[in-house]
Chain A
């Protein structure tokens, strides 16, 4: 047993899928597009251009916050985060500092552990640099298509002590933003970016939150990871690396690291010993954003039933196993499809459990098959099972008469012959019937 326990917090950036960017009318659908084709004076940060906030993006940010049980600031505002980087068009990023849209939320994990959500805030994405060699010259190119695409940042307290809880949290978060239909959260496209901060404290795991004063005196941030698996690996690597340093009596450096998947290692990117001073101040180009209690409760009404609640309801309402309920609720459209079929099927006697099995086992593609078709199939499958016993016996008798050798083989212990006989019987029946039923009666007749 290690004498150390990991202390892990998470920052997650989620790109919203609004049609237009956060502060201008440019299309936010930039992925794979011709560089700098989705730009205008505002997202290029040209002199005099001004940001006008995207109302829908703000509402979506608030919905994410509400889905994470956050409190919403009725009076909120944007702030300027000042720093230099070549991909930052204005020399500052418009973000939120002391009054984020959402704060103090919580996500409960399956093991009952409650992860505190510190804040949910809105900001703009940056441009993208690519370092290339053109005509033998090393150059850095800037693509501003991504500049000012709406980003929501979700920050937890350092409440995790293992990589599996982290993974569950991340999967749930991805599921939630997809349920809200505000982001595709496709990691390959950078629509969800993960930044765990990891340190170790001396002591064993505990159920209470770590007191602020007991947090380690350093923090290592691993930036911009685009896969849950890599987060897991990066955490495990860091825990080991830091433990080795601590054992040698060294304090791990306060720094930002990256994950190198090829080398299966984190690597140092930038020291954070001297805390960056972003010189935040209220964005003078955007008046404060005010939401009334009514507006907030209206947004809350628009938050759909979320997966954790849905699982419990499905178990109760449809007598499903947790396993089935979880599969069906993994994606909202699938859960909706299941319920649609159940609803359509109210009159007939097929029970929801059978519908669930059918959808899960047959891997029904809800995007191509209609609920009505599914019901028809289920009912059809059920009806053939009720083939008349006398009629069935007639076919079986014929098969027995015609296949003496196979019967003899079967009686001699050759199991495969039974399958042959079953096939022959099915052939004679000529339609889809419940094979189990036929097999049972066939066996009885031999």
Chain B
């Protein structure tokens, strides 16, 4: 078994064919974590003992011929997903000793599917950021170059996959928190439609935006995980009742006649290497039978304003419960970024300012939703760069209070509109850092973007390239 080249789908097959046991597989990953994580720092909590117990149980079930979608598969989960009996900090010291008495719906679905939990991954504290530099447990490093940041907020998740410390990871995105770190770390990151995957038990950031999703090595792995995660949750009133398609079966490789929309504004100010790389990918798509069409979308800069106001408002309210009475730490323990967001959100919701900020942002949000709706009348998916830059060096966020918003400018519009989107690697910079492109679909168009991404991956399997760590 070579865990560096192993994918989730391959491991599934191998376990079924008893090429190795889940315990062996799990031990291999725990060993890898032991060797690599001191450099990468992807994990906040490693649950080795728990993992081996899960693996033993899985092996017993496999021996009995029980077939579950993720039986015996080692995974990492971002530390903002509540895990029963396992510390859940959201990378904030405010929750340093908090042990949830319940599992997030995503976690219980993964458990029911048979996963083995390796540990909880690092993130920007409360998911506030795009670097993991705001984590109270220190920044995660980019496996492609540990002097660089992994992106965020699901930076630990993306790094854990890129460094082969896990087969796959579960992250969450509010606006960019899956796609952007996936882009910087060179992995596949799927942000499902808002409401496709339950938020129940995920420490809330921007409640009207938060979307849990998988970070994986391949598109097929992404589809396998989404299959487990997607669906209406009676505990989350904002999940949609839309039927869950068979994502893996729909990876048909057929994209004949697929119309891809491209908006010039999404290439403005983007690193020329990235621009060139995405343009090459678009040519590949044309060669594979898709049509590329120029479209007009609202300039993504408007989304920054809308997103900043709505998300800060929700944050200010969501963090109010950490009032010092429970959880063991008072509000002085909040980091600078959380404090800034609480203040800005409180301000924009205040009497006399609500109409000027929050209400206006809601209206512009509707305009952006309509803008995308119109675009999807003409095209099936939209492709653009995921991030204006490749990974930035450690320390890049210092004194940059809008760092996250600028790093996420290209993913914020689709997040605000609650759309589905996926990041995949489409090249590498001269300095050897991954370049990501994103495929944006309409709401509940995961099938379509997964299939289009799959086709590209078959043609250009860049996931085979590995960081030297």
Closest residue of chain A to B206 (Cβ to Cβ) is A284
State in angstroms the CA–CA spacing of A82 and B101 once bound together. 26
Say yes or no for A281: interface residue by CB 8 A criterion: yes
Q: Which of A14-22, A48-56, A426-434 contacts B (4 or more CB under 8 A)?
A: A48-56
- Known A49-B200, A49-B201, A90-B321: A284·B82 in contact at CB below 8 Å: no
State in angstroms the CA–CA spacing of A168 and B364 once bound together. 49
CB of A83, distance to nearest CB on chain B (Å): 9
Closest residue of chain A to B327 (Cβ to Cβ) is A47
Chain B residues with CB below 8 A from A41, complex form: 82, 100-102, 201
Chain A residues with CB below 8 A from B208, complex form: 284
A82–B317 contact, CB under 8 A?
yes
A48–B320 contact, CB under 8 A?
no
0/1 string, A284-305, CB within 8 A of B gives 1: 1111000000000000000000
Chain B residues with CB below 8 A from A50, complex form: 199-200, 235-238
Say yes or no for A89: interface residue by CB 8 A criterion: yes
A52–B235 contact, CB under 8 A?
yes
Say yes or no for A92: interface residue by CB 8 A criterion: yes
Say yes or no for B350: interface residue by CB 8 A criterion: yes
A287–B237 contact, CB under 8 A?
yes
- Known A80-B317, A84-B323: A48·B237 in contact at CB below 8 Å: no
CB of B30, distance to nearest CB on chain A (Å): 27
Say yes or no for B61: interface residue by CB 8 A criterion: no
Chain A residues with CB below 8 A from B446, complex form: none
Say yes or no for B349: interface residue by CB 8 A criterion: yes
CB of A284, distance to nearest CB on chain B (Å): 4
CB of A66, distance to nearest CB on chain B (Å): 24
Partner of A48, one of B199, B206, B346: B199
B349–A53 contact, CB under 8 A?
no
Partner of B349, one of A49, A89, A281, A285: A281
| Interface-central residue, B80, B202, B320, by most chain A CB under 10 Å | B320
Partner of A92, one of B82, B202, B236, B320: B320
CB of B312, distance to nearest CB on chain A (Å): 11
Say yes or no for B325: interface residue by CB 8 A criterion: yes
B358–A281 contact, CB under 8 A?
yes
CB of A295, distance to nearest CB on chain B (Å): 18
- Known A47-B100, A48-B203, A52-B234: A91·B320 in contact at CB below 8 Å: yes
Chain A residues with CB below 8 A from B104, complex form: 48
State in angstroms the CA–CA spacing of A284 and B358 once bound together. 13
| Chain A interface SS verdict (over half) | loop
Say yes or no for B303: interface residue by CB 8 A criterion: no
Number of interface residues of B (CB under 8 A): 41
Say yes or no for B98: interface residue by CB 8 A criterion: yes
A277–B351 contact, CB under 8 A?
yes
State in angstroms the CA–CA spacing of A286 and B238 once bound together. 6
State in angstroms the CA–CA spacing of A46 and B203 once bound together. 9
Number of interface residues of A (CB under 8 A): 28
Say yes or no for A45: interface residue by CB 8 A criterion: yes
CB of A291, distance to nearest CB on chain B (Å): 16
Interface set, chain B 182-210, CB cutoff 8 A to A: 199-204, 206-208
- Known A52-B235, A80-B317, A90-B321: A47·B90 in contact at CB below 8 Å: yes
Interface set, chain A 23-39, CB cutoff 8 A to B: none
Say yes or no for A419: interface residue by CB 8 A criterion: no
B354–A89 contact, CB under 8 A?
no
| Chain B interface SS verdict (over half) | loop
State in angstroms the CA–CA spacing of A41 and B317 once bound together. 18
| Interface-central residue, B88, B90, B201, by most chain A CB under 10 Å | B201
State in angstroms the CA–CA spacing of A395 and B463 once bound together. 116
B82–A47 contact, CB under 8 A?
yes
Closest residue of chain B to A86 (Cβ to Cβ) is B325
CB of A228, distance to nearest CB on chain B (Å): 35
State in angstroms the CA–CA spacing of A51 and B354 once bound together. 24
Partner of B238, one of A49, A280, A281, A287: A287
Say yes or no for B149: interface residue by CB 8 A criterion: no
Say yes or no for B408: interface residue by CB 8 A criterion: no
B313–A281 contact, CB under 8 A?
yes
0/1 string, B47-90, CB within 8 A of A gives 1: 00000000000000000000000000000000011100000101
Chain B residues with CB below 8 A from A286, complex form: 237-238
State in angstroms the CA–CA spacing of A47 and B203 once bound together. 5
B317–A281 contact, CB under 8 A?
yes
Say yes or no for B314: interface residue by CB 8 A criterion: yes
Say yes or no for B162: interface residue by CB 8 A criterion: no
CB of A281, distance to nearest CB on chain B (Å): 6
Say yes or no for B25: interface residue by CB 8 A criterion: no
0/1 string, B87-98, CB within 8 A of A gives 1: 010100001001
- Known A84-B320, A89-B321, A142-B325: A53·B237 in contact at CB below 8 Å: yes
Interface set, chain B 315-330, CB cutoff 8 A to A: 316-317, 319-323, 325
- Known A47-B204, A48-B201: A91·B90 in contact at CB below 8 Å: no
Partner of B320, one of A52, A82, A280, A285: A82
CB of B325, distance to nearest CB on chain A (Å): 6
CB of B106, distance to nearest CB on chain A (Å): 10
CB of A244, distance to nearest CB on chain B (Å): 33
CB of B117, distance to nearest CB on chain A (Å): 17
Partner of A45, one of B206, B313, B321: B321
B237–A51 contact, CB under 8 A?
yes
Interface set, chain B 411-431, CB cutoff 8 A to A: none
A284–B314 contact, CB under 8 A?
yes
Interface set, chain A 158-189, CB cutoff 8 A to B: none
State in angstroms the CA–CA spacing of A286 and B88 once bound together. 25
Chain A residues with CB below 8 A from B349, complex form: 82, 279-281
Interface set, chain A 91-105, CB cutoff 8 A to B: 91-92
CB of A141, distance to nearest CB on chain B (Å): 11
B88–A47 contact, CB under 8 A?
yes
Closest residue of chain B to A46 (Cβ to Cβ) is B100
State in angstroms the CA–CA spacing of A279 and B318 once bound together. 13
Chain A residues with CB below 8 A from B322, complex form: 91
State in angstroms the CA–CA spacing of A84 and B235 once bound together. 26
Closest residue of chain A to B126 (Cβ to Cβ) is A47
Partner of B204, one of A48, A52, A277: A48
A90–B313 contact, CB under 8 A?
no
Closest residue of chain B to A279 (Cβ to Cβ) is B349
0/1 string, A248-281, CB within 8 A of B gives 1: 0000000000000000000000000001010111
A279–B350 contact, CB under 8 A?
yes
A48–B95 contact, CB under 8 A?
no
B200–A48 contact, CB under 8 A?
yes
CB of B156, distance to nearest CB on chain A (Å): 18
State in angstroms the CA–CA spacing of A82 and B320 once bound together. 8
Chain A residues with CB below 8 A from B358, complex form: 281
B237–A47 contact, CB under 8 A?
no
Chain B residues with CB below 8 A from A279, complex form: 316-317, 346, 349-351, 354
State in angstroms the CA–CA spacing of A41 and B350 once bound together. 29
Closest residue of chain A to B95 (Cβ to Cβ) is A47
Chain A residues with CB below 8 A from B203, complex form: 47-48
CB of A131, distance to nearest CB on chain B (Å): 14
A48–B202 contact, CB under 8 A?
yes
- Give 16 pairs: A residue, B residue, CB < 8 Å, sorted on A: A41-B100, A47-B88, A48-B100, A48-B202, A49-B201, A51-B237, A82-B316, A82-B320, A84-B320, A84-B323, A91-B319, A92-B320, A279-B350, A279-B354, A280-B354, A285-B238
Closest 10 interchain pairs by CB?
A91-B320, A279-B349, A284-B207, A284-B208, A48-B201, A47-B203, A91-B321, A277-B351, A90-B321, A52-B237
Q: Which residues of A contact B (CB under 8 A)?
A: 41, 45-53, 80, 82, 84, 86, 89-92, 142, 275, 277, 279-281, 284-287
